[in-house]
Amino acid sequence: MSTTTDSKIRIQLENFSVTDEIEAMKKVSRNIGGITTFLGTGRELSKGQNIAQLNFEHYPKMAEKKLEEIRQQAIKDHGIIDMSIIHRIGPIEIGENIVLIVAVGEHRKETFTACEWAIAELKRVTPIWKRETTTNGEVWVQDTP
């Protein structure tokens, strides 16, 4: 299952290949001199609790809309050439990929700032929610680091 508003924005159940996504972004322009990625993965420990599994839910269409807004704002405000954002939903095992942001630009500086801004903004405004299954039961994660 994959929902798409643009090939650069995806929310999907399936895992993704970081290498394939970077290679796809390299084809956007021959003027790319810097590529920055953020890869979020499922971790085993959160707030002192052992995590057995993660599960992500989202508000369809609205989540994709917010991700596209983040992408467009990053391009405009940070002067990058392009950006892609992929976020998985459904059950995620420990160590699996969750989210990938790839920012490409002429130089490294703008790609770093765009990528960092984009993940912070994604966590702040995108209607995607994380539920952790711990030894003490299920917990909905509300805050952002």
What is the mean pLDDT of the segment spanning 125-132? Answer: 95
- The span from the CA of 67 to the CA of 87, in Å, is 9
pLDDT for residue 6 = 43
Quick check: 15 pLDDT over 50? yes
- Listed as own residue / partner, the contacts of 135-141 with beta carbons closer than 8 Å and 24 or more positions apart are 135/49, 135/50, 135/52, 136/49, 139/49, 141/46
How much is the pLDDT for 137? 84
Closest CA to 96 of 53, 45, 60, 138: 53
143 pLDDT tier (thresholds 50, 70, 90): low
**pLDDT at residue 2 greater than cutoff 80:** no
Question: Judging by beta carbons within 10 Å of its beta carbon (0-12, 13-18, 19+), is residue 136 exposed, middle or buried?
Answer: exposed
Please report the pLDDT score of residue 3 as a whole number: 42
Is 50 exceeded by the pLDDT of residue 5?
A: no
* Domain residue limits at 103: 2-141
Mean pLDDT of the region 37-48: 91
Three-point CA angle 79, 84, 87, nearest 5°: 135
Average the pLDDT over 120-125 and give the result: 96
pTM (global) more than 0.85: yes
CATH number at residue 22: 3.90.1170.40
Tally of domains within the chain: 1
Q: What is the pLDDT of residues 53-85, one digit of tens each?
A: 999 999 999 999 999 999 999 999 999 999 999
